[in-house]
Structure 1
């Protein structure tokens, strides 16, 4: 399993440059690294001094680079879908629709990119995957997909399974879903195994996001007040999906007391201005990117005290809303919503009180 790193921050703060330096740093330490870029523009290739492609190519020792192209990812997935359709339907409906014809609909990019990261992680070829994404809410929603999808399955599974529509289309829908989620199904356990395997896959995804030794983000900012405020907002939003933010990278400026206070208790590292041909000063200025586990945990559950604590920096009390409409607790903060799956000892219990103090939301049951 690979360490997955990504960088969050306002556009123009140097996220792509930092991602490249991070990939180079890990590679020089002996890790097998894949640098994955999602921006279809030329910036990644220009900074690397080479052309990029939708297939991994060797950049230096231990370092490969790939440029995600949604149309290519969709085309490859479509061919797998057609094979499954032919296997499960006697009269395939989409056999004459070709992947080369398909356009990418809004929202597909994130799902395709996440699936590609999962497949590269599962390949066992890499010790670290550095994802140079949009660095904003789009990246966070992508990484939050396992949590959101598992909630939809929990809440809607019984309703859908009991419907006449599902009984009609499930022989086709279930295997098609497996093409995206890479789940292997057999005929004898067709009804139960797919659901179990999908749930297991989503649980593994949630566990990977929640484990800072597996997945972590770093904030990239300058001293500009707008960039700082954006980084703070993304910090709090990352907590909402259970993603640990390991530290702050202050690009091309010295660390001041004000900056440190804005991101306390995270460590803030100052990154130097480097000439295009010399990456070494920037590489050396980066912190140990494997130490995100020392950062505050997004959520802590204390069963004995019957409390749940969420770390929500970047938000004030007015921006945080708690509701309980069912057996789970829902937290709204900013533009992110999180449904907290409680342990059996607390599941279904009513909230007795909540307080927001020092960036922590403490919920008592």
Structure 2
């Protein structure tokens, strides 16, 4: 299974430059690398002195580059859907609608990119896949899709199964589902949907820093530092592990003086001069290091205490709400759902305090 790497930082902090240097470093060491860009501007073209294609193209030995085009990805998925429909249904409904006729709605870019990454990862062609998105906000939203969709599925599944509309529609859609999946299906089966599916697998993958990991990128600019810390907490809100911080265009002497990223290891990168990538490549961390990252959640049932790793935020920036069986943590622009074990279900939150980048909740 390929390792997926991504970089989080303020615009113009050098994420694309670091992504390219990382690809060069790993490819030179023997890893088969795919650098995935979703940047519609010609920035990669300028950095690599060659156009980025919409299909994987070899740049150097072991190093391929692809630029994702949302309109093309949508057309490919729509074609696959119509092929399945024609295969399983006697009278296909969407055969006269073509992917080229469909526009890209807000949010589609992230979903299409995540699906593309999944396909590349499962293809077995690459050891490392490096993702460089349009910006970090979109990247975090993309990696948060499995958790968010699982959340929506749970909410709407309950509404659907309990509503008169759901009970009315089931007799109509059951034959269709049975035909497509070649299996029997009832309303009660909806309760099993989220226990073993691609969304659940996505959540599991995100929690394993040896399968999906991120590094923060910043410069010596105060706004870039503050933004990197903000994205640090945002990453853990969507379940994405951060393994280190790369300080771009800096000197080693300035790292300890100006930066405070807690237990994160910092790496100083010199400024790139011309087309000379060697100094950057030599200064980069060992991205294949198997060291663990802090646990995002630690639930101690004996003390009725939950520790949530939430770096980069202050208590006043965090909103905590509770239902009978779950907690919702709202910080930055993300919401995170924490499901309580049976022994803590029904207990009321007594206190919530910040300690060493953890939100400690006592029930």
TM-score in terms of structure 1 length: 0.90
**Aligned mates of 2:158, 2:190 — CA distance in 1:** 16
Partner of 1:232: 229
Change in CA separation of 1:357 and 1:109 when aligned onto 2, cut-off 3 Å: same
Residue 82 of structure 1: SS of its match in structure 2? helix
Q: Is the 8 A contact 1:4 1:216 kept in 2?
A: yes
Q: Is the 8 A contact 2:255 2:266 kept in 1?
A: no
Q: Is the 8 A contact 2:88 2:180 kept in 1?
A: no
Q: Number of residues paired by the alignment?
A: 356
Counterpart pick for 1:321 among 313, 319, 322: 319
Higher mean C-alpha displacement, 166-175 vs 4-13: 166-175
Partner of 1:121: 121
Residue 197 of structure 2: SS of its match in structure 1? helix
Partner of 2:256: 257
| 1:89 Cα deviation after fit | 4.3
**Aligned mates of 1:346, 1:201 — CA distance in 2:** 28
Q: Is the 8 A contact 1:296 1:311 kept in 2?
A: yes
Residue 27 of structure 2: SS of its match in structure 1? helix
Equivalent positions of 1:280-319 (< 5 A) are 280-291=278-289, 293-319=291-317
**Aligned mates of 1:185, 1:351 — CA distance in 2:** 46
**Aligned mates of 1:114, 1:211 — CA distance in 2:** 17
Partner of 1:73: 73
| 1:137 Cα deviation after fit | 1.8
Change in CA separation of 1:65 and 1:348 when aligned onto 2, cut-off 3 Å: farther
Change in CA separation of 1:279 and 1:208 when aligned onto 2, cut-off 3 Å: same
Change in CA separation of 1:344 and 1:326 when aligned onto 2, cut-off 3 Å: closer
**Aligned mates of 2:122, 2:218 — CA distance in 1:** 32
Partner of 1:217: 214
Q: Is the 8 A contact 1:150 1:203 kept in 2?
A: yes
Q: Is the 8 A contact 1:209 1:243 kept in 2?
A: yes
Partner of 2:96: 96
**Aligned mates of 1:24, 1:172 — CA distance in 2:** 52
Q: Is the 8 A contact 1:331 1:337 kept in 2?
A: yes
| 1:359 Cα deviation after fit | 2.0
Change in CA separation of 1:286 and 1:185 when aligned onto 2, cut-off 3 Å: farther
Cα deviations by residue, 1:187-211 (Å, 9 ceiling, x for unpaired):
2245549964884211110011111
Equivalent positions of 1:258-277 (< 5 A) are 258-261=257-260, 263-277=261-275
Q: Is the 8 A contact 1:174 1:194 kept in 2?
A: no
Partner of 2:20: 20
| 1:336 Cα deviation after fit | 1.1
Q: Does 1:243 align with 2:248?
A: no
Counterpart pick for 1:186 among 173, 181, 189: 181
Residue 81 of structure 2: SS of its match in structure 1? helix
Q: Is the 8 A contact 2:225 2:259 kept in 1?
A: no
Counterpart pick for 1:167 among 164, 167, 170: 170
| 1:162 Cα deviation after fit | 4.3
Residue 18 of structure 1: SS of its match in structure 2? helix
Q: Is the 8 A contact 2:154 2:194 kept in 1?
A: no
Q: CA RMSD in A?
A: 2.4
Change in CA separation of 1:31 and 1:159 when aligned onto 2, cut-off 3 Å: same
Q: Is the 8 A contact 1:269 1:285 kept in 2?
A: yes
Q: Is the 8 A contact 2:324 2:345 kept in 1?
A: no
Q: Does 1:206 align with 2:203?
A: yes
Partner of 1:38: 38
Q: Which runs of 5+ in 1 are unaligned?
A: 176-183
TM-score in terms of structure 2 length: 0.90
| 1:173 Cα deviation after fit | 9.0
Higher mean C-alpha displacement, 225-234 vs 301-310: 301-310
